[in-house]
Structure 1
């Protein structure tokens, strides 16, 4: 330790508020720690490239495509010249570099030894690996897909600034449903800031209560151009959104991973318009067809009922409206006649029975006995004499015969 740092703590854990490290010592310690790091390979996206004519070193900024984080890189002109094609901003590369710390500026720098572009084959392989990972987590599962609203109040649209994709979605959607409203967020759809811009726009639209569906649209392009839409950070943001998402990236042959995570996939931005709103003309035609079908069914039903009524009115009972009453009257009269006959027959039977009983009564009466020549002898008080011993000589008796009566006096004969 130099005399300028004599008496200061040797290690960071030994520092205190009373005995801190000066900035120069901290910078020196960081530089010593970083200097012990090995040469390594790092991957990123070139977002800035500064080359001064005649300079032997070129400086560039290497950004992580998934998060907003970057590092400065210094690389020799000769290393750049060894690349198979000139390096362009936005290109993904892998760099062999030795980390170093600039004490004066307090910044970390990568001292690059080699630089290689990431080929399409490597990109596709990484996309396939990410696809398998997300599929295993269930982000592509059909059951997590949400149905799009039939007629959304407002559609959120994320697309490039003044892009053909934006025009295709808006013009075709409004051609189908003229009153449709849009909340448009114009962002970078390729390059180093695409993922960050799209995620920010998605979060803004997802927070709007009246936005019922969000379309992420972009025209076609190369594999490298469409890489932001296979970015893991963007895909997870789409999966976490509460609003249904429509992916309208590229042409029909382009299939970024966003197509698998989104709730619906449109083969083109024009197709996205057909997914988010119905065709007003088609709906009107459908309503007319339904109205005509209902009218036809109503007419057919009315015709059937009219035919049924006509057939009913042609029946005799309805053709002569008094026939039923007459039939009922005839039946009532028949029942009345039968009842009268039964009543008269009953009366006759009872009359005959009464006559028979009268005859029997007449035959068994005292008068009938008198008519046969018999007489009834009674005492003056009306007591019938039934025993000779009850009469004394000289008693006055009365004799009743069939026609009349007369007095007699008992004598000794």
Structure 2
């Protein structure tokens, strides 16, 4: 049996999830084609559980922003050095890069200059196609990738226009959501009563988000909790029913992205007086059971959309980073929430930087909870969004392309050393 080694490089919680889904598909494709496959990775626990040998865990060193990334520079450089040493000693047959712009450009450039015989596949390219500040990153991505596997149609068009060899495979969450529980199943598994309001809070998958966004989302939750309890008490008085019990009161559910965040979240729950439950192993059930989600911008927005859960999306970085981005780098984006990016129009409310206040979040949440027309419109827009994410079988399509390239000898390519 032929043996091939593939190195997969990614970072952060979402990259670890996408990497794990891809590894499972690669193993199935390899078995079907009689290929012995060894996978080594820069990633996280999900990828390790899927069968990869981890060179380093990169799930906890991700950041968005300029100042926010400073604490992670040294750990990232150390991991990069370790990866380069491994690549020199054990050149793989193929490298797959998933998102993770800065570190993966570094690894891709190293391979292109030092190991030009090794093909590079970029799967789920960084969102340079949305917020490119200069064409430099786009040029680098195109230069280092022999093949780009795009998850969004607009992403595929952008990189093809800039000279890349691109195949649109669709978004891997389409596959993952096939095994998701129904709303009724999820609520039963979590013990949520039929008429009880359940709200998912998804504030952080990066350390910086704990600092900049946890206070905002928890204050919003406190205000919303008081409002919901008031409405519930009022309705019981009108109906001449007993006062609200603990069992009837609205609940907040918080999926835990990393165990390191448990303590600050527990402290925040206590400080803000929330009726909230932290969940570490039933994330999909929490999302599927929710009447509403208040969530940071990220891959989770697509998960919620595929589960038909209305959501309020918000994001904040440090004020200094925001000022530099706007005034020195001329940074601007049409949208940040992935569901809006897919259709290039606003289908879920997103509140960024100064607009991301507890009061604004509560205002949008109130609309999605109590305005029937608004909820129905969001659900209808989700249906449209689905058509842009491809058909089921995304991970298999990506895996087939990768296995095919692993079998082929890389074509000669002129590389200019700078």
**TM-score of the pair, normalised by structure 2:** 0.28
Relative to its length, the structure with more helix (as a share) is 2
Relative to its length, the structure with more strand (as a share) is 1
- The structure whose Rg is larger is 1
